[in-house]
Structure 1
Amino acid sequence: MNRTLVIAHRGARSLAPENTLAAAQKGLEVGADLWETDVGVTADGVLILFHDDSLKRTTNAAEVFPDRAPWTFTEFTFDEIERLDAGSWFDRDDPFGQIAAGRVSAAEQAAYVGLRVPTVEEALVFTRDHDWTVNIELKRLPPPLEDFPIVPRFFEVMDRVGIAPEQVRLSSFEHRWLEEARALRPEVEVQALVGFYRDRPIDWDAVAEFQTVNARATLTPPEKVRELVAAGRRINLFTVNDAEEARAYIEAGVTGLFTDFPQDLVPLAHAAAGKETP
């Protein structure tokens, strides 16, 4: 059985501000097999790393631009987003309690103050230069960029950076984008995201054309994972932070686990495979 991959969700976001290069660096340091991040697009067409539709939670946009609520990222130019602090909120909120637990040093906390929202180009350069792998989630874009040509634009950035196709995975809830990506660049692996709605069962037949599926863990019990893997599917689950839950999925043969705590799941995955943690 292949070892379960540990995927640093938005980077190691329990140890550093999510979707920053600092979070990617922490994921690399703790031995994650790859990292995951989200793609947003600015008003002037720059691809950035961002998750929420609003800039409010993870930047100081409300302070810098008090009159532009609800601070939707597609309504800001890249120059405007570059003015934002995307790190101080982490020190203030300690979203996963890792500062309080003593797992984030004072020097790291200080370094997070003033972090910028990175571009996709910077993320791919980081991944290329560290001989690592990244899972890029192409997110549904809020107005007014619903029809932005995200797939070809992403490949333009890939080409500019010169990253190897095998270092990139593309995932999305928008399966039409994955079909477009497969047609344009069959050498780049695509992974169908399923389970967008927490209270609706997953229609596995609807994603039968995709060998790799990234599914919501709460909708995919270990016995379902075992069934799917036995049928030749590759299943990655989001987001698994509990060690006992992770063990159950690893025993079921899950391909990969997206986690906010790669620092905890890497040793677990290696122990399950009988390998030493790096």
Structure 2
Amino acid sequence: MHARAATALSTALLGTAALLLPATDVRAVEDGTPPEVIAHRGASAHAPENTLAAVDKAAALGAVWVENDVQRTKDGALVVLHDDSLRRTTDVEEVFPGRAPWKVKDFTAAEISRLDAGSWFGASYAGARVPTLRQYLHRVDLHHQKLLLELKNPELYPGIEGQTLKLLSNEGWFDRRHENRLVVQSFGVAALRTVHELKPGVRTGLLGKPAVADLPAYADFADQINPSYTALSAAYVSAVHAFTGPHGRPLEVSAWTVNTAEAARRVAGYGVDGIITNEPGVVRDALAG
């Protein structure tokens, strides 16, 4: 069904059909393919999140996909960090005690490069740094992994969409070797629409759970709808799959953040396409089992 021709009746019928199927059978009925395992901020249960060590650990655990968060420094560098403040995951309070509230956008790349982004997680990671996006891309490439890249807080960084796409282009992420290895996601609807307008070939994912009635509008520029797993049902996943995205394929669903075997099996039963997790080894084994 094409998004622009979808009707409320067909969506309702698909949702009803999904409800009538046993949860564990939904994915198998569709195509028999298990969901992709996506390492959230790298293997963030095992190494400090969004660091190169977390990418390495994800690779060691067999995760083909990794997810990260991109923000921008005061002098315009793109760095990989989840929070808009450096306080939780670095020693910024000790290194720059007079600079509260320690926002990423208020520090230069050189200043951020001085920070310890590993000791908070464990002594064995002392000295880990906040990577630049370029460094992160190189590490993902080293492991031949795929990347789910989140534009974090895009409203704080005007123009970050084009800047990120330019860096990805400069690093070769739009060549044939990287085909189907990149998705750009965000909670920011305007940011995703901008990404699609600037680079229509790039796949995009909308974070959150929009109403089914709103899906036709999002399907114009988003290839994925990526909600919290706690908000999902088999009926909702089937309703999303009923719409066609901007690249002529059914919309996909990747659920976050699933960290137990029980939750992984349940969400896989809904028919999701991807599972975003801090525990890629746990989820991998649960799906294999």
TM range (shorter): 0.7 to 0.9
Change (3 A) 1:147 1:127: closer
CA contact (8 A) 1:17 1:23 kept: yes
2:56 aligned residue (19, 22, 25): 25
- Count of residues in correspondence between the two structures: 244
**Secondary structure class of the residue paired with 1:254:** coil
Structure 2 letter corresponding to 1:243: A
Q: By how many angstroms is 1:236 displaced?
A: 0.6
TM-score of the superposition, structure 2-length normalised?
A: 0.80
2:240 aligned residue (228, 236, 243): 228
What is the aligned partner in structure 2 of residue 103 from structure 1? none
Q: By how many angstroms is 1:230 displaced?
A: 5.6
TM-score of the superposition, structure 1-length normalised?
A: 0.83
What is the aligned partner in structure 1 of residue 214 from structure 2? 206
1:45 aligned residue (76, 81, 91): 76
Structure 2 letter corresponding to 1:159: S
What is the aligned partner in structure 1 of residue 126 from structure 2? 113
CA contact (8 A) 1:128 1:167 kept: no
Greater helix share, structure number: 2
What is the aligned partner in structure 1 of residue 150 from structure 2? 137
- Please state if 1:219 is matched with 2:237: no
Q: By how many angstroms is 1:250 displaced?
A: 0.9
**Secondary structure class of the residue paired with 2:130:** coil
What is the aligned partner in structure 2 of residue 77 from structure 1? 108
Aligned-partner Cα distance in 2 for 1:230–1:155:
29
What is the aligned partner in structure 2 of residue 59 from structure 1? 90
Within a 5 Å distance, the mapping from 1:88-99 to structure 2 comes to 88-91=119-122
Q: By how many angstroms is 1:226 displaced?
A: 4.0
CA contact (8 A) 1:41 1:141 kept: no
What is the aligned partner in structure 2 of residue 101 from structure 1? none
Structure 1 letter corresponding to 2:185: S
**Secondary structure class of the residue paired with 2:268:** helix
Q: Which runs of 5+ in 2 are unaligned?
A: 1-31, 244-249
Q: By how many angstroms is 1:11 displaced?
A: 0.4
Change (3 A) 1:72 1:207: farther
- Please state if 1:171 is matched with 2:179: no
Q: By how many angstroms is 1:241 displaced?
A: 1.1
Change (3 A) 1:147 1:126: closer
- Please state if 1:244 is matched with 2:284: no
Instruction: Give runs of ≥4 in structure 1 deviating > 4 Å.
Output: none
**Secondary structure class of the residue paired with 2:49:** coil
Q: By how many angstroms is 1:218 displaced?
A: 1.6
Q: By how many angstroms is 1:154 displaced?
A: 0.6
Aligned-partner Cα distance in 2 for 1:45–1:228:
37
Change (3 A) 1:151 1:2: same
**Secondary structure class of the residue paired with 1:225:** helix
What is the aligned partner in structure 1 of residue 160 from structure 2? 150
**Secondary structure class of the residue paired with 2:121:** helix
CA contact (8 A) 1:6 1:269 kept: no
Structure 2 letter corresponding to 1:205: A
Larger radius of gyration: 2
Aligned-partner Cα distance in 1 for 2:158–2:238:
38
Aligned-partner Cα distance in 2 for 1:34–1:244:
21
Change (3 A) 1:132 1:147: closer
**Secondary structure class of the residue paired with 2:227:** strand
